[in-house]
Amino acid sequence: MELLDRYLQAVRKYLPTRRQDDIIAELRANMESQIEDRESELGRPLTRGEMEDLLRKMGSPVIVASRYQPQQYLIGPSLFPLYLYVLRLVVLWTLIIYSIVIAVVLPLASPDHSDIAASLLRTPGVLINVAAWVTLVFVAFEFFAARYPEKCPPLTCLADNWNPSSLPPLEKADVTGRKPRSFTQAVAEVVVGFLMMAWLLLIPSHPFLLMGPGVVVLRVAPYQLAPVWWTFYWWIVGLNVLQLAWKTIDLARGQWQQPAPIRQIIFKAVGVIPIALLLSVRDHIYVVLKNPSADQLRYGHNLDVINNSIHLGFSVICAIVVVQLAWEIGQIVWNAYRLREAAK
Amino acid sequence: MTVAENLFESLRLELRRGSLTLAVLAQLRQEHYGYTLRKDLAERGLEIDESTLYPLLRRLETQGLLVSQWREEDKRNKRFYRLSPEGEQILIRLLDEWQAINASINRIFEQPQS
């Protein structure tokens, strides 16, 4: 019986404190009866191996004790859908607000932008923190609802008291034939847009964000970027600001399901301008020498190759973008024609 | 275990869960303690693990469906359970419910397959 005593001692450790003695006494009585029955069938005491088999069949002490706990979950099935909904909403809005703070408030507060990178890296921690607090609140509610049901309002009333007439109108597919965007998608686009803005604004002072370890090469190489890149850079920033502003306005006005296709085409068309700007640079000068007088002879040929390669690269990109734009314009026109024919 | 066997086992446990409560309540129309209850149910074809049955008895008692008392039998203190008055009423209603479900399932199986 020493093994039984050790088993019951182990189970006791994980039992609710108030009922330990009672539960262990009952378990002992039942198991001793079982052992007695088995021994009278065999006509002899159980061997150690047989005793171990019996205890193994009973189950691990932790599992056995856990079944005596009143509640086997942190957030129960009736509360879980609401918890999930609130969690998604809170995390999404935290992400939006935090992104706005990083992209707009921090640059104004710290001109050297030193806090922005650190704040970006803190984003996962902030979101986990918020999710943990929401979870804690719901766990607390579940705990009190289980123990004091008469004091907690029934949450089923939230599910029961809804009006079918207040359902949103039927969503139509947009003229490109794609499914309407979800709220989550629209929010994610805005959040990513703000994070992209922060990243873009940091690049001039922290070039490693764009080039990674390659920034070392840029420092030691005899080349440097031509002034045209600043024009290109500010065009990109301007376009991003414009696009982000439109997306944020759409989200605030509740019009995220159907982004205006014409506006998307306009953004894409305007996006060709900075590429065209680069292609129109005189003599295709994108990279210059830091010390032309000293390095022209040695690196002049390489410089030509680099500049021509960049020009070729951007020519290809421009061609791809133009073809893509033409294709999307064609798709919109075709789908609009199809919808008009179907409506007749 | 294969995926299909795991799925079957999970569904089988779900199917048994409600039936076990009904079987335990029905058997406790007569007084039992944990071990004899398990033996009697096993003799009638319903095997239940001890680690499932004993906490279930506690839970049913907490819900007011069972009453229990400690008594000495064969020089050992044992906790005997039986149905409470509320438990008897619940048992009748559960039995009606179970029989209705059983009859519905039989009708579903009896209907010709199109």
Q: Which of B58, B102, B62 is nearest to B86 (CA)?
A: B62
Please report, for residues A71, A191, A258, A261, the alpha-carbon distance to residue A77 in angstroms, rounded to integers and kept in the order given: 12, 31, 35, 42
pLDDT for res A117? 72
Has domain B21-110 been given CATH number 3.30.750.210?
no
Give the residues of chain A that fall short of pLDDT 50: none
Residue contact B51–A64, C-beta within 8 A = yes
Please report, for residues A86, A195, A239, A264, A270, the alpha-carbon distance to residue A242 in angstroms, rounded to integers and kept in the order given: 31, 15, 5, 12, 11
Residue contact B54–A26, C-beta within 8 A = yes
- Smallest CA–CA distance, residue B49 to chain A, in Å, is 7
CB-based contact, A120 to chain B, within 8 Å: no
- Distance in angstroms (rounded) separating the CA atoms of residues A17 and A208: 58
CA-based nearest residue in chain A for residue B73: A29
Residue contact A59–B49, C-beta within 8 A = yes
A68: nearest CB among B35, B55, B77: B55
Residue B71 has pLDDT above 80, yes or no: yes
Is pTM beyond 0.80? Reply is no
Instruction: For residue A58, list chain B residues with Cβ-Cβ distance below 8 A.
Output: 50-51
- Smallest CA–CA distance, residue A25 to chain B, in Å, is 8
- The 8 Å CB, 24+ separation contacts for A85-94 are A86/A134, A86/A138, A87/A131, A87/A134, A87/A135, A88/A184, A90/A130, A90/A131, A90/A134, A91/A127, A91/A130, A91/A131, A91/A134, A92/A184, A92/A187, A92/A191, A94/A126, A94/A127, A94/A130
User: Would you say B56 and B24 are in contact if contact means Cβ atoms under 8 Å apart?
Assistant: yes
The residue extents of the domains of chain B are 21-110
Residue contact A67–B79, C-beta within 8 A = no
- Distance in angstroms (rounded) separating the CA atoms of residues A154 and A145: 9
Residue type, A341: E
- Which contiguous run of DSSP H or E holds residue A328? helix A292-343
Q: Which of B8, B45, B9, B34 is nearest to A29 (CA)?
A: B34
Residue B103 has pLDDT above 90, yes or no: yes
Residue contact A58–B77, C-beta within 8 A = no
ipTM of the modeled complex? 0.85
Mean of pLDDT over chain A: 82
CA-based nearest residue in chain B for residue A66: B55
Residue B110 has pLDDT above 70, yes or no: yes
Residue contact B76–A59, C-beta within 8 A = no
Residue B101 has pLDDT above 60, yes or no: yes
CB-based contact, A8 to chain B, within 8 Å: no
In the predicted model, what is the mean pLDDT of residues B6-35? 92
User: Would you say A307 and A284 are in contact if contact means Cβ atoms under 8 Å apart?
Assistant: yes
* CB within 8 Å of B43: residues ≥ 6 apart: none
Residue contact A70–B62, C-beta within 8 A = yes
